[in-house]
Amino acid sequence: MKDKVIIITGAGSGIGRATALLAGSAGAKVIVSDVNQEGGKATADEITQNGGTATFIHCNVADKQEVKDLFAQTLGLYERLDYLVNNAGVGGEFNPTHLYSDETYEKVVAVNQNGVFYCLKESLRILHEQEQGGSIVNVSSVAGIGGAPRMSAYAASKHAVIGLTKTAAQEYGKYNIRVNAVCPTVIETPMTAGLLEGDPKMVEGTKYLIPMRRFGQPEEVAKTIMWLCSDESSFINGQELRVDGGMKA
């Protein structure tokens, strides 16, 4: 990781934040990106205060031009890129498909699917031109490998992330550019906090579906992401790696 340049989207909170902190402590040059300025800056500040190197760059991944600017600014700073963690995502609403609003569906797909595509495309262009390989990790979900009742937009967008991952892995493997996905189950982050708070029955019911009988911590996903970025996983390509305590085994 030392001196490697890594972009992490949605790094102002949860899994992205934990991944950024880990990358920073491993000596990487971390581009902390988020649409949320306050959260993103706080992550970058924490890395710097711990002696690491980090820069916050504002980016809404659903906006093509902002994504282009994110990658251009990164090249402006470091003249190279090694890793991308496509982590930014939103949950959407909870409704059966016939009641699911078009607006939310389009918003979820814009961030979780189109945003991943825009960032993937920019990073692959750069890594391909550099001719030195690289690694990309896309954050999907267990909702990307199976149904997710009342979350049709989320499930659709996370399945799309797996499709993009596998396709890019097969297209760019010959250039030593690896593309993998992680598929977490429920992880205790701000995204799930609102969902689970005040509903102990739902918490217990969901935990029962997980053989390890607990939810995951953002650091557990972050460690998996860092491993997939690093050369420690040098022959792993095109995977949809579950981080789910055995839920989908």
Question: Is residue 245 a contact point for ligand NAD (CB under 6 A)?
Answer: no
Does the protein bind ligand NAD through residue 92 (CB under 6 A)? no
Does the protein bind ligand NAD through residue 90 (CB under 6 A)?
yes
Kindly tell me which of 10 and 134 has the beta carbon lying closer to ligand NAD.
10
Partnered with residue 177 across adjacent β-strands are 134
Task: Output the smallest distance, CB 36 to ligand NAD, in A.
Answer: 4
16 binds ligand NAD (CB under 6 A): yes
Smallest gap from residue 118 Cβ to ligand NAD (A): 10
Binding piece for ligand NAD, criterion CB under 6 A, among 22-30, 35-43, 172-180, 225-233:
35-43
d(CA 36, CA 160): 24
39: contact with ligand NAD by CB under 6 A: yes
Query: Rounded to the nearest 5 degrees, what angle is found at the Cα of 72, between the Cα atoms of 176 and 33?
Result: 85
Note whether 14 binds ligand NAD by CB under 6 A.
yes
85 binds ligand NAD (CB under 6 A): no
Instruction: Print the binding letters for residues 220-239 with ligand NAD: x by CB under 6 A, - otherwise.
Output: --------------------
Binder of ligand NAD out of 189, 224, 233, 237 (CB under 6 A) = 189
Tokens 């305590």 appear where?
245
* Between 190 and 234, CB nearer to ligand NAD: 190
Q: How far apart are CA 187 and CA 182, in angstroms?
A: 12
Active-site residue flag, 154:
yes
Single residue of 56, 184, 237, 240 touching ligand NAD by CB under 6 A: 184
Asked if residue 12 binds ligand NAD (CB under 6 A), the reply is yes
Catalytic annotation, pick one of 154, 172, 175, 208? 154
Q: What would the DSSP string read from start to end of the chain?
A: -TT-EEEETTTTSHHHHHHHHHHHHTT-EEEEEES-HHHHHHHHHHHHHTT-EEEEEE--TT-HHHHHHHHHHHHHHHS---EEEE--------B-GGG--HHHHHHHIIIIIIHHHHHHHHHHHHHHHHTS-EEEEEE--GGGSS--TTBHHHHHHHHHHHHHHHHHHHHHGGGTEEEEEEEE--B-SHHHHHHHTT-HHHHHHHHHTSTT-SPBPHHHHHHHHHHHHSGGGTT--S-EEEESTTTT-
Contacting ligand NAD within 123-182 (CB under 6 A):
139, 141
Q: Catalytic residue positions? A: 154
Q: Which residues bind ligand NAD (CB under 6 A)?
A: 9-10, 12-16, 34-36, 39, 59-62, 87-90, 111, 115, 139, 141, 184, 186-187, 189-192
